[in-house]
């Protein structure tokens, strides 16, 4: 069966109200101090940074956002019986909320909806950790070992999970159609997957508001808004 894969970036979630933190108007560009909250060394060594990071997580729109038409169209394609895989640079969990099964979604940058212990790797739903903030803790330690907790999102100074990345490479090579949606395709290694897909014979479709470095090798470049483009492209794919 034809394997249809999606590499998704921040642009697919802006219709869900999630700002593009790395974009030209992103928070990190406007407030260099905010970058410390997501930098591993600062986070691990400074309790004040951790307290501020927990307050940011508590208020994050990411956790209350809803999937939009593009996330739903991908989930719908999966339900229709097509072989679908999603590789995402996003940490918002919206593909899974839209109905794409968790095992078919590779989260290259981790998830804001999960916490992990930096000592013993115990993991759990972020809502559990945030409930402890509501109960008065300001930097909740691991309940198993007392270690420092963080979200599973990959911070500056951390590497991507090699297992997740390895699986993403395999999925990419096996894809017959590869959609790059809402990603500027400038952050490696994720960006390189688009080129890899093309090298391995996939039909590469780039859907992004701005030009990407892979537009030249793409079979189709789509500039229309993602919320209408993705449902349209997937209807055409289903009818083909």
Using rule CB under 5 A, residue 217 touches Zn ion: no
Using rule CB under 5 A, residue 127 touches Zn ion: no
Tell me how far apart the alpha carbons of residues 208 and 195 are, in angstroms, rounded to a whole number.
16
200 is catalytic: no
Selected binder of Zn ion within 38, 77, 108, 117 (CB under 5 A): 117
Helix (H) or strand (E) holding 82: none
Question: Considering only residues 15-74, where is the footprint of Zn ion by CB under 5 A?
Answer: none
Query: Which residue is catalytic, options 71, 109, 188, 200?
Result: 109
Selected binder of Zn ion within 29, 45, 101, 120 (CB under 5 A): 120
Is the CB of residue 218 less than 8 Å from the CB of residue 198? yes
Size of the site for Zn ion (CB under 5 A): 8
Selected binder of Zn ion within 127, 131, 145, 238 (CB under 5 A): 145
Choices 52-60, 96-104, 137-145, 154-162 (CB under 5 A): range interacting with Zn ion: 137-145
Using rule CB under 5 A, residue 139 touches Zn ion: no
Selected binder of Zn ion within 119, 158, 167, 176 (CB under 5 A): 119
Tell me how far apart the alpha carbons of residues 177 and 154 are, in angstroms, rounded to a whole number.
28
Site residues, Zn ion (CB under 5 A): 117, 119-120, 122, 142, 144-145, 147
């Amino acid at each position: 069966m034809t394997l249809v894969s999606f590499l998704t970036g921040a642009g697919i979630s802006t219709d869900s109200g999630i700002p593009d933190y790395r974009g030209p108007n992103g928070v990190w560009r406007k407030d260099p101090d905010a970058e410390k909250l997501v930098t591993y060394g600062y986070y691990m060594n400074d309790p004040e940074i951790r307290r501020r990071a927990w307050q940011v997580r508590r208020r994050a729109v990411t956790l209350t956002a809803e999937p939009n038409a593009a996330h739903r169209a991908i989930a719908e394609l999966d339900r229709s019986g097509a072989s679908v895989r999603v590789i995402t640079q996003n940490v918002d969990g919206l593909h899974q909320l839209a109905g794409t099964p968790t095992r078919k979604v590779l989260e290259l940058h981790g998830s804001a909806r999960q916490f992990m212990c930096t000592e013993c790797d115990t993991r759990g739903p972020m809502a559990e950790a945030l409930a402890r903030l509501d109960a008065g803790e300001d930097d909740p330690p691991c309940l198993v070992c007392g270690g420092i907790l963080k979200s599973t999102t990959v911070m500056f100074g951390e590497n991507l999970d090699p297992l997740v990345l390895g699986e993403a490479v395999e999925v990419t090579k096996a894809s017959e159609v590869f959609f790059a949606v809402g990603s500027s395709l400038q952050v490696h290694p994720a960006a390189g997957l688009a080129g890899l897909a093309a090298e391995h014979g996939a039909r590469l479709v780039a859907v992004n508001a701005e030009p990407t470095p892979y537009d030249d090798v793409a079979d189709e470049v789509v500039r229309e808004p993602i919320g209408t483009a993705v449902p349209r492209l997937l209807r055409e794919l289903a009818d083909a």
